[in-house]
Amino acid sequence: MDLSLVFAGTAGSVPTARRGLPAVLLRAGGDRILMDCGEGTQRQLIRSVGLVDLDAIFLTHLHADHWLGLPGMLKSFDLRERSRELLLYGPPGTAALLQSVRATYGRLGYPLAVIELDAGDAIEWDGYEIEAFNVAHRGQAFGYAVIEHDRPGRLDPDRARELGVTDGPDLGRLQAGETVDGVTADQVVGPPRPGRRIVFSGDTSPCETLRAQASGADVLVHEATFLHADLDRARQTGHSTARQAAELAREVEVRLLVLTHVSQRYHPREVRDEARTTFPATEVPRDFDQVVVPFPEKGAPELVRSELPVP
């Protein structure tokens, strides 16, 4: 399964000339799932990978900078005659919020399912699940963990041949756990390989739930609203500093830390450099940059810079 992220908006609270409001597109196999939908997200997608027919949108929390792009996007899907159901997941209050802005997008020609999650709820997708967990922001706020199912172990074809198994369908049956001509799967198939894990912090101060979810993650997408010099403001507002994000990433040994929700107070390079002092495998994407997440045996998660012009 191909697994990658497109950073459609990497600013926090207020957009800048170069950074739109929060939104990350998760591409998992054929699924297209949006994490948050700040004002202008539909256009950020149009400007980069296209306004793809999303399967679902997950909101981390209901502060306006994380969802104000939703009504316009819902309407645009309607104007181009979407018929397929769209799933909208969010914390408690999401349904009431949608109802309150119902007039902005009016009657839609496709079903919109609004599903409020509780912490711990996991939505099953084809080959992975997305689990909501509580984080420490102002009001109820979620992070989300994208957890790929464990993959079957690797089959050793040489060992299978030694045991008299012929090439072809029998190898597939062994891989699937069956016994073939007295040869059992565990004789030729290694242990299950753990699936990949991508964790989104949402907006949060450092917290235990995030630490637990991020443990060993391939990619941790973490907010970094402040530099550590402004730690007090970070605490007051329920946000993190770049250093705090890096400390968490180091403690729980993520493979790649990706910082977002950056403030115009700082140059993004300052944010990156502060984090890298603690955790070198840190990136601060620009809008439209991607992060590809290969199977661990194929390589490390990697930032791919966009070649699109940024104003």
- Residues that bind a second copy (rule: CB under 8 A) add up to a total of 33
Of 16-24, 110-118, 169-177, 221-229, the segment contacting a second copy by CB under 8 A is 16-24
Q: Least distance (Å) from a second copy to the CB of residue 192?
A: 44
Neighbours of 20 (CB within 10 A): 23
Beta bridge partners of 130: 123, 146
Query: In the structure encoding, which two tokens stand for residue 260, read together?
Result: 């977002």
Contact with a second copy (CB under 8 A) among 52, 229, 304, 308: 308
CA dihedral sign, ordered 262, 266, 272, 278: negative
Phi first, then psi, for residue 253 (nearest 5°) are: 55, 60
Q: Does the protein bind a second copy through residue 298 (CB under 8 A)?
A: no
Helices 268-278/242-251 angle, 10° precision: 30
Q: Which is nearer to a second copy, 114 or 123 (CB)?
A: 114
- Residue of 25, 27, 32, 42 that binds a second copy (CB under 8 A): 42
Does 64 sit near a second copy (CB under 8 A)?
A: yes
Q: Which is nearer to a second copy, 64 or 212 (CB)?
A: 64
Instruction: Indicate the residue among 169 and 309 with the shorter CB distance to a second copy.
Output: 309
What one-character DSSP code corresponds to residue 150? Answer: P
User: Does residue 20 touch a second copy according to CB under 8 A?
Assistant: yes
43 touches a second copy by CB under 8 A: yes
CB 44 within 8 A of CB 32: no
C-alpha 105/C-alpha 91 separation (Å) is: 21
Pairing of strands 23-28, 3-9: antiparallel
Residues 76-115 that bind a second copy (CB under 8 A): 76, 79-80, 97, 100-101, 103-106
Q: Is 4 in the site for a second copy (CB under 8 A)?
A: no
Instruction: Evaluate whether 251 touches 287 at the Cβ level (below 8 Å).
Output: no
The residues that touch a second copy, with contacts defined as CB under 8 A, are 13-17, 20-21, 39-40, 42-43, 46-47, 64-65, 68-69, 71-72, 75-76, 79-80, 97, 100-101, 103-106, 308-309, 311
